[in-house]
Amino acid sequence: MANSTFSAPTDRAYDRDTHLWVKKDTTTGRLIVGIDALMLDTFGDLAYIQLPEVGTPIRRGDAIGSLEAAKMTSEIIAPVSGILIGVNEAVLQDPMKVNQDPYESGWLFAVDGTDWENERQHLVHDPAEIAAWMQAEAERMNAQQNLDA
Amino acid sequence: MTWRLITEDGVSAAYGLAADEAVTQRVGRDLSPQTVRLYTYRSHCALVGRFQTVENEVHLDYCRRHGIEVNRRPTGGGAIIMGADQLGVALMLARSDRTAYGRAREIMAQFSRGLLWALNELGIRAAFRRKNDLEVDCRKIAGLGLYRHPQGGLLFHASLLVDLDIPLMLRVLKTPFEKISDKQIRTVAERMTTVRRELGRAIEVAEVREAVARGFARAFELELTPGTFDADERQAIRELETRKYRNPEWIFQTADVPEAEGRAVLKTDGGLLDVRVSLAGRTIKAAYIRGDFFANEQAITDLEAHLRWHSSDPAAVRETVSRVYHQHRHDWSLISLSSLCEAIEQAIEHGAHHLNQSGEQPYGCFVTPARYHA
């Protein structure tokens, strides 16, 4: 019977639907985007990631890339709007690095945000709320998987 | 609960794929009913997985000469051939609470239950195993794939082998072997099976399709209502077919993931091991274990299947090989675990050496314009 718990650092914000996280780099102001541990658990080891070219304008809610793990493909939905200003070269070379270190070296891409303060309000961003949200999501996942078992 | 049942035959590759994706998108937006589509393609077409590179998977010259369509699925996995004797199965569903957080493997296991019911009714004892395939005695009888649409739809794909022309498949799809021989055909036949082969009779595809429809109805305790695509759906399918599945930029997009073949031939106390691997970056796409030694064929195919779409990290490979080896300990005869690991690792190293010689890093990412997302 599954009974998973997942970490969720409180120094960033999380998209409720896609489980992508967004962290503002306080030095450069750029927004770093990655996948949280719960969603990675549903995928398993990532085999492929597709992202747009650096310089591409992106809009929150749009499908901007794809990934594949265990014969399941899924779109990557932009959690914020802006200009894509970088992709993680280490992850490009080895997608499983995302699984190994989702919150630090396994980040996906960086964005020069154009509406961050507004869009942040649509994400789970209150440190006091993040842990409770992730716990509720994990319980929802566990309940579903126990139901399916 | 009711799902719509749509049956079609002889569809083109572009139409077949566009219909699955376009309707899945509409189901996710609550514009179309949840649908199970059981259909066949016009013989024959070759469909590569979402992230594969066509030139690496398909003999394009042969396909062009013989009018074999080539296209790219939205779902993952490897290249396949489809035609009148391979039943395409597409479940186009809304992502409910039951599937939104499901692990890929668990979702595929859940949805494959309809196929298992059908095969069981026909008298075939199949099982969901390993890298998300349905197998009969370690032989693959159906391949599965999954695609989560960003607007909430979930597409479950399966190709059920009612029959299979193995020599044709080997002429269409690329393998690490240099030439098509009787030995190679036997090798594939030991790893795949079909409904007709298992039953020992020439069952019609229509009969299999009826069993599959009953299987889904029973497995999910629902009613299937025969139907067709409506005008809005047909319009959406046409648009996606034109924009994406008839667009060479989608079909022939190339991966930055460098691919390479690796081979190791190792003399051991138990016999000669000849191992070949196909690498995509740091992922093992396929492994083939042959040579001159005694071992149970199922032990070999089981290990090959476990290594498919597996990390090439040496520690991860050793762990998997060790686990699978011990499950078949007495089937490997005089081949030791250490020699098996050594041969596989050498083949991987050989492939990795080719990747490095190509001057490219083994990238796991490639870039295509975002407009191809539905």
Q: Biggest alpha carbon distance in chain A?
A: 47
Check residue B133 and give its pLDDT. Answer: 84
Residue B234 CA to residue B232 CA, distance in Å, equals 5
What does the pLDDT look like over A57-89, one tens digit per residue?
999 999 899 898 877 898 899 999 999 999 998
Say yes or no: B51 contacts chain A, CB-CB below 8 A: yes
pLDDT per residue over B131-170, tens digit each?
678 999 889 999 999 998 877 789 999 999 999 999 999 9
Residue B101's pLDDT is what? 54
Tell me whether residue B325 is exposed, middle or buried, using C-beta atoms within 10 angstroms of its C-beta: 0 to 12, 13 to 18, 19 or more. buried
Summarised one tens digit per residue, pLDDT across range A83-111 is: 999 999 888 777 888 999 999 999 999 99
Q: Could you count the other beta carbons within 10 Å of the beta carbon of residue A140?
A: 14
Predicted confidence (pLDDT) at residue A147 exceeds the cutoff of 60: no
> Nearest-CA neighbor of B251 among B97, B54, B67?
B54
Per-residue model confidence (pLDDT) at position B310: 85
Topology given in CATH for the domain delimited by B259-357: Enolase-like; domain 1 (3.30.390)
Res B371: pLDDT: 39
Closest partner residue to B367 (CB to CB) among A52, A141, A144 is A52
Classify burial at B313, counting beta carbons within 10 Å of its beta carbon; exposed 0-12, middle 13-18, buried 19 or more. middle
Q: Which residues of A touch B (CB under 8 A)?
A: 38, 41-53, 56, 62-66, 68-75, 77, 87, 91-96, 137, 140-141, 144-145, 147-148
- DSSP letter, residue B54: H
User: What is the CB-side half-sphere exposure of residue B364 using CA atoms within 13 A?
Assistant: 28
Nearest to A48 among B75, B104, B364 (CB): B364
CATH superfamily of B2-251: Bira Bifunctional Protein; Domain 2 (3.30.930.10)
- Domain total of chain A: 1
- Beta carbons within 10 angstroms of residue B60's beta carbon: 16
User: What pLDDT score was predicted for residue A84?
Assistant: 97
Query: Residue B372: its pLDDT value, please?
Result: 40
Please list the helix, strand and coil fractions of chain A in percent, rounded to the nearest 5, in that order. Answer: 30, 30, 40
Chain A CB within 8 Å of residue B294 CB: no
Tell me the average pLDDT across A39-68.
89
Q: Would the CB atoms of A48 and B102 count as touching at under 8 Å?
A: no
- Residue ranges per structural domain of chain B: 2-251, 259-357
The verdict on ipTM greater than 0.90 is: no
A68, A75, A141, best to mutate vs chain B, most B CBs in 10 Å = A68
Q: Which portions of chain B are predicted below pLDDT 50?
A: 97, 360-374
Q: What is the pLDDT of residue B110?
A: 82
Give me the domain span that covers residue A55: 13-144
- How are beta strands A109-113 and A82-87 bridged, if at all? antiparallel
CATH number for position A124: 2.40.50.100
Q: Is residue A17 part of a domain?
A: yes
Cα-based distances in Å from A55 to A83, A95, B357, B364: 6, 22, 31, 20
Stretch A40-58: mean pLDDT, rounded?
Answer: 89
